[in-house]
Amino acid sequence: MGKRNLRNLFWKRFRRNGLAVAGGVIVLALFFVAVFAPLLSPYNPDAIDRHNVLMPPGLQHPLGTDDLGRDVMSRMIWGARISLAVGFVAIGIATAIGMLLGALAGYYGGWTDRVIMRFIDIMLSIPTFFLILAVIAFVGSSIWNIMIVIGLTAWMGVARLVRAEFLSLKEREFVLAARAIGASDVRIIFSHVMINSMAPVLVSAVLGVAGAVLVESALSFLGFGVQPPTPSWGNILSLGKDYIELAWWLSVFPGLAILVTVLGYNLLGEGIRDSIDPRLWETERK
């Protein structure tokens, strides 16, 4: 089956999956909100209005205001930028590290594979969230530190996926042909095998963004993440716990935003995984 036919079959299966399409719509909507935050935000997210403190949702402030009179909707919109930026940068770092180590382990095998896999086992045995908390406590809670630390602690699953793909692909005919014509290991790894192992990595990356958004929100909720006055869904939610009986909207709306974001990425990732499953393709062809 040609690449064009495979692509058409992928999109055909993806469109049939209503949940996957819904996830894709949610993700695209979040992108739109994050990119056009300056245009969509009705107020300056940091503007303090002492005359409108803890106002409930209404026409003037659709999602209410916080304890300083700041518009919650504006802060939610700008917070989308922070959450998505952390998700994509952190998972970009994790994916790059995981692909490199997984490729080396799967392609060379032997002691290289044993050393890398034992290191992965050690990393997996450490409670990741507590490790992130400890590192952030030492290096500080800037947005870049959060991105880097999450990325450096989230690569193990990608590495194992890539290693499994390399173990399967490195004995295929196209790799043997590349070796026969004298292609270097670097060229074989990155120009031949890596390209053919990207499908599961893509699914893992999409699902990983949801996890990174959750981690950033949890860190901000605990006070170790993005610091006020910079808006993020986590620190808005953290403020809400102090006014849970007076201002329910400070907890409900950022909580819903986190829920919908994570749900959207999970649905999209699951839909992509189902659509690229070769066993389902064979069923479709029959």
Residue type, 76: M
Tell me the pTM. 0.86
Segment 14-39 shows an average pLDDT of 91
Please give the average per-residue pLDDT across 173-196, as a whole number.
85
d(CA 247, CA 240): 7
pLDDT of the residue at 128: 84
Whole-angstrom distance, CA of residue 100 vs CA of residue 112:
12
CA angle, corner 181, sides to 180 and 182, nearest 5? 90
pLDDT of 279:
54
pLDDT computed for residue 260 by the predictor: 94
Q: Which domains does the chain have, with CATH numbers?
A: 3-285 (1.10.3720.10)
What pLDDT is attached to residue 92? 93
Per-residue pLDDT of 128-155, as tens digits, reads 888 888 888 888 878 888 899 999 999 9
**Residue 229: DSSP 8-state:** T
Among the residue ranges 83-92, 114-123, 182-191, the one predicted with the least confidence is 182-191
* pLDDT category of residue 3 using cuts at 50, 70 and 90: low
161, 201 in Cβ contact below 8 A? yes
Beta-bridge mates of residue 33 = none
Asked if residues 61 and 77 have their Cβ atoms less than 8 Å apart, the reply is: no
- Residue 22 phi/psi, 5-degree rounding, is -60, -40
- Say whether pLDDT at 78 is over 60: yes
